[in-house]
Structure 1
Amino acid sequence: QEGMNEEVEAAKKSLEEVQLKAKQRESKLSSELECLKKQRDSHQAELQQERDRADALRKQLESMMLKGPDTDVSLIDKVATLQVEKDDAVNKQKDLEQKLAQEQGKVKELQNRMGVMSKLNESLAASVKLLESKGKKLEEEMEQRKKALQGAETQAKLLKGKLESTESSYTALKKECNQLRNELQEEKSKLHAASPMTPAEVGTALTKERDDLRRKLNEMKETLAVMTRKETEKEKQYQEKENKLKQEYEKKLEKNLKDVREFLQAEIKSLQDEHTTMKNRLNETVDKFEKKEQEAKSMSEKLRQVSNAQRREREDWQLKMEDMEEKLRVELRKRERMEREHELEAKSKAEEVLAAQNRVVQLEREHRRMV
C-alpha cells in the first residue's frame, strides 16, 4: 500500500510540474502576443498620423499652387515625389501588418495547442483523483476487516477467560474432594477410636458414605466433563470460525490488492505514456515557441528598424516640406512685391495718362479760343 501511495504521489508531482510549465509557457506566450498587439497599434497610429500630416501638407500645397499661374513646376514634382515616398511607407506598413497577422495566427495555433494540453492535464488529474478514491475505499474496507478481526479476537479472549474459569472451578472441586477424603479418613479414625458400633456396622456406614461421596464425585466429574466438552466445542467452533474469517479476509484482501495493483499499474503505465507523449508535445511546442519567439524578436527588430527608417524619412520629409514652404513664402513675397510694383507702375501710368488728357483738353480749349 505504501508503494502504491508513493507511485500515486510521484504521478501527481510529475503532473503538477507539467501543468506549471504549461501555465508558464502560456503566460509568456500571452505577454508576447500583447506586446506584438501594442507594437502593431503603435505603428498603425503612427502611420495614421503620417497620413493625416501628408494629406494636410498636400492640401496646403495644392491651395498654394492654385493661387497663381506662375507656380514653379518643380514644386509639383516634389509633391509627387513625397506622395510616392508616402505610398512606399504605406506599402511597407501593410507588409508588416500582414506578417504580424501571420505571427498572430501562429500564436493562436500555439494557444489552441496549450488548450489541448490543459484538457489533457485535467484528464490526468481526474485519473489521479479516481486512483485516490479507490485507494480510500480499499483502506476503508481494510479497516472494516481489521475491526471484524479485532472483534473475533475479543470473543476468543472471552472464551479463553471462561475456559480458565472452568479450569479453576475444576481445581477447586478437586481440592474440595481431597479435603473431603481427608475429613473422611479423620472421621474413620475417630469412629474406630470412639464408636460403640461393631466393625460390620462401621464398615457398612463407611461403605455407604464412601458410595455417596463417590457418587457426588462422579456427578461433579460428569458436570466438569460436560462443561469441558462444551468449552472445547466452543473453542473449536471459535477456532474454525476465526480460521474461516482469516482465510476469507486474506483471500479477499489478496484479490483486492491484486485488482488494485493491476489497476494502478495499468493507470500508472497509461499516465507514464500520456506524460511521455505530453512531455514530447510540450518540448515540441517549447521548441516551436522559442523559434516563434526568435522570429517575433526578429520581427520586432525589423519593425524597430522600419520605425526608425520611417522616422528618418518623416524628418527628411518634414525638412523638405519646410524648405518647400520657405521657398513658397519667398516666391509669394516676390510675387507680392512684383504685384505692388506693377500696381505702382500702373497707377503712375494712369496718372500720366490723366495728365496727358488734361493737357489735351487745355490745348483744345486754347485752340478754340484762338479760332
Structure 2
Amino acid sequence: MADKSGSYKRDTNYIQTRITRDGEDGYPVEAHRYRLAAARACPWANRALIARRLYGLDDVISVAMAGPTHDERSWTFDLDPGGVDPVLGIHFLRDAYNKRFPNYERGITVPAIVDERTGEVVTNDFNQMTLDFGTEWKEFHRAGAPDLYPEAQREEMDELMEFVFHTVNNGVYKCGFATSQEAYDKAYDELWSALDQLEKRLESRRYLMGPSISEADVRLYPTLVRFDAVYHGHFKCNRQKLDELPNLWGYARELFQTPGFGDTNDFVQIKEHYYIVHTDVNPTGIVPKGPALDGWLTPHGRDHLEANTWGDGGTPPPPPLKAEVVDPANTPLHVEGR
C-alpha cells in the first residue's frame, strides 16, 4: 500500500479482459448475460453505476450490490437475504475471482463484471469499463442516451481524465494512506493544486468539457460527492471543504441534482465503509454523524453558463429501477423507482 518513502501506491494491475461487440476476448456483448458487482460506498464503482444509468444499461446488465463493510478477504453481499447474491449464489465476491483465477492474489475490487453463465469474473478494469459501456454496448443504449465520449473531444478528455485520476481521484487516497509527513505533504499540495485548477476551469464552463456532461464528469463527481463526508476529515484533505469552493461546489450540486448522479449515492454506506473498514486510519471505528446533507439540494447557481446537458438529441435517464432506489434515510433526495 505504501512504499519506503511512505507514499501510497495503488495497484493498477487489473483484469484487462473486455466485453466487446466482436467478442475478441471471448466475451461478446450480450444482454442479460453479465452482472455488475458494485458497492455504493466505492467511488470507482460509483462511476460504473452512473454510466450504466445514463446509457440505460440498467435493463441490460444486472447489478449485484455489495455491502459497505468488509474484511481483508473480500467485498461481501451481506445486503441480500442470507448474505448471498441471488443470481451469483455467492457471499464473497472473491469466489467469482477465484473461479476464473484459482487463488487470485491481487485485490478483490469493485466494480467487477461477472459472467452469470459461469460465475467467473470477466474484468475489474474500471477505467476501461465505462468507456466500453459507451462504445461497445451502444446497440443496447436507451433512446436519448448521451454520447459521453465524443470522438472530437477524446484527446483533450483523455489528458484531463488522466490528470484528475492521479491528482484528485487517487490523490485523496495518497493523502489518506500516506505513512510519512513528507509523502502526505506532497500529496496534499498536488491535490489542492489540482482542485484549484479545476475550480478555475469551471468558472467559465458548465461541465468539465463544456456545455454537456461527459465521461470526465462521471469520473470527477464520485470524488467530489464524498469529499466533505469522508476525504476532508478522514483522509486529512482539509485545506477547505468542498462547499467553500464556489465553482466546484455549484458544479457538484448540479450533478447531484441531475438524474443518474445523486440517485446513486448512499451517504450512510459511504461513511460506514471508510470509517469502519480503514482501521489503520480510524482505529476506533467511530462513524461521524455529520455533515448535514441538505446543502446538496440548494440551488447550484450555474444557470448563467451555457448548457446542453445531454448533448444534441440526448435526454435524461428514466428513474432507477425500484430495486435500486437508495434508502431515503441515507440521502436528501426523494426518488421514485420504476
Which bin holds the TM-score, normalised by the shorter protein? under 0.3
- Greater Rg by CA: 1
Structure with more relative contact order (C-alpha pairs < 8 Å, separation 6 or more): 1
Higher percent of residues as strand: 2
Please give the TM-score of this superposition, normalised by the length of structure 1. Answer: 0.18
Higher percent of residues as helix: 1
